[in-house]
Homo-oligomer: A and B are copies of this chain.
Amino acid sequence: MNDIAPNRRRRAGGRSGHTARSGGHAIEQMPWRLPRNTDRPIEPLPEEGVRAIHDGAMRVLAEIGIEFLNDEAIGHLRAAGCKVEGQTVRFERAFVEEMVARAPASFTLTPRNPDRAITLGGGYILFGNVSSPPNAWDLERGKRPGDFETYREFIKLTQYFNCIHFAGGYPVEPIDIHAGVRHLDCLHEKLTLTDKVVHAYSLGPERVEDVMEMVRIAGGLTHAEFDASPRMYTNINSVSPLKHDWPMLDGAMRLARRGQPVVVTPFTLAGAMAPVTLSGAVMLSLAEALAAIALLQWIAPGCPVAIGTFTSNVDMKSGAPAFGTPEYMRATQITGQMARFYGLPLRSSGVCAANVPDGQAMWETMNSLWAAVQSGTNMVYHAAGWLEGGLIASPEKFVMDCEVLQQIQRYFEPALLGTTEADLAIDAIAEVGAGGHFFGCQHTQDRYQTAFYGPFLSDWRNYEAWQAAGGVWTAERAHGIYKKILAEFEPPPMDEAIREELADFVARRKAEGGAPTDF
How far apart sit A417 and B283, CA to CA, in the bound complex (Å)? 12
Give Cα A235–Cα B462 distance, bound, in whole angstroms. 25
Q: How many Å from the CB of A364 to the closest CB on chain B?
A: 7
A53-68 at interface with B (beta carbon < 8 Å): 53, 56, 59-60, 63-64, 66-67
A64 touches B424 (CB 8 A): no
Proximity bits, A137-176, B CB within 8 Å = 1, else 0: 1000001000000000000000000000000110001000
**In chain B, what residue has the closest Cβ to A391?**
B6
B322 and A460 within 8 A (CB): yes
**A13 sits at the interface (CB 8 A):** yes
* A353 engages B272 (CB within 8 Å): no
A366 within 8 A of B: yes
Cα A146 to Cα B379 in complex, Å, equals 47
- CB of B16 within 8 A of CB of A418, answer no
Give chain A interface residues in 190-246, CB to chain B under 8 Å.
Answer: 199, 201-203, 235-237, 239, 241-243
Q: Is A436 part of the binding interface, using a Cβ–Cβ cutoff of 8 Å?
A: yes
| A109-117, A298-306, A402-410, A489-497: which lies at the interface | A402-410
Given the known interface contacts A432-B241, A452-B314, the answer about A458 and B364 at a Cβ–Cβ threshold of 8 Å is yes
Contact partner of A2 (CB less than 8 A), chosen from B45, B265, B403, is: B265
User: Which stretch in A71-79, A439-447, A499-507 binds the other chain?
Assistant: A439-447
Per-position binary interface string of chain A over residues 23-44, scored 1 when its CB falls under 8 Å from any chain B CB and 0 otherwise: 0000000000000001110111
- How many copies altogether? 2
With contacts A49-B419, A330-B411, A359-B362 known, is A16 near B320, CB below 8 A? yes
Q: Which of A95-103, A253-261, A273-281, A509-517 makes up part of the contact surface?
A: A273-281
Chain B residues whose C-beta falls within 8 Å of the C-beta of A423 in the assembled complex = 277-280
Check if B366 sits within 8 Å of A267, measured CB to CB: no
Q: Is the CB of A241 within 8 A of B280?
A: no
- Bits for A389-418, please: 1 = Cβ < 8 Å to B, else 0: 111100000001001100110110100111
Closest to A243 in B: B434
Contact A88 B280 (CB under 8 A): no
